[in-house]
Amino acid sequence: MEYPPEILAAGPQALNLYEKALPYGERWAAMVALQCPPGTKGTDRAFLEGRQNNQQLDDMPLRQAQYVSRDARKAGISITGKYYCAGIADKRGWKDPEAWVTSNDDVLRVAQKRRLHVTGSVNYDPGEAPPQRKLLSESIIKDELRKEKRKNPKAKTGELREKIIEKHAYRVKNR
């Protein structure tokens, strides 16, 4: 019988427990022998594994890690115990305070606030955004203003603009 390497590395006691629990399934036996439940998707433990204490900066070249941490501090962000999640950052990148998270809840909150589609440890789909309608395109207003000014040069631009919008704009209740 071939044993998983992590069981062999855990020692003879773990190997003995593994053999006793094996009739109930290999995965169960491994959990019992290692005294460790499997990682569970969606938990903060699974999300932060290998990410706490700025471990992501340890993987960067020293100069880059110093640059990122210095810029974040200048932006007023305390990065202690936080993880920089680039997928939810805005155009400021690591200078965005909401991109430095401590849990799944932070990621979900930012994704909901910014209507971001995220998948992974946190899954959120904001759905289709409602259409944003303008009353009337600015180019149409300018064209119509030119025509009206030719007809009546003494008319005030503000009044003409209001008349054009009232005449040509999309009709909405309570406008």
Q: What is the pLDDT of residues 42-64, one digit of tens each?
A: 778 778 777 777 788 888 899 99
Q: Is the pLDDT of residue 121 over 70?
A: yes
- Smallest Cα–Cα separation from 53: which of 72, 86, 79? 79
Q: At a CB cut-off of 8 Å and minimum separation 6, what does 12 contact?
A: none
Q: Is the pLDDT of residue 99 over 90?
A: yes
Q: At a CB cut-off of 8 Å and minimum separation 6, what does 112 contact?
A: 124, 126
**Cα dihedral across residues 106, 110, 115, 118: positive or negative:** negative
Q: What pLDDT, on a 0 to 100 scale, did the predictor assign at position 54?
A: 75
Please answer whether residues 96 and 68 qualify as being in contact, where contact means their C-beta atoms are separated by less than 8 angstroms.
Answer: no
Q: Is the pLDDT of residue 89 over 70?
A: yes
Average pLDDT score, the chain: 87
Residue the block writes with tokens 């009337």: 136
As a whole number of angstroms, the distance between CA 76 and CA 52 comes to: 20
pTM over 0.75: no
Looking at the chain, which runs of residues are DSSP E strands?
83-84, 100-101
Q: Is the pLDDT of residue 175 over 60?
A: no
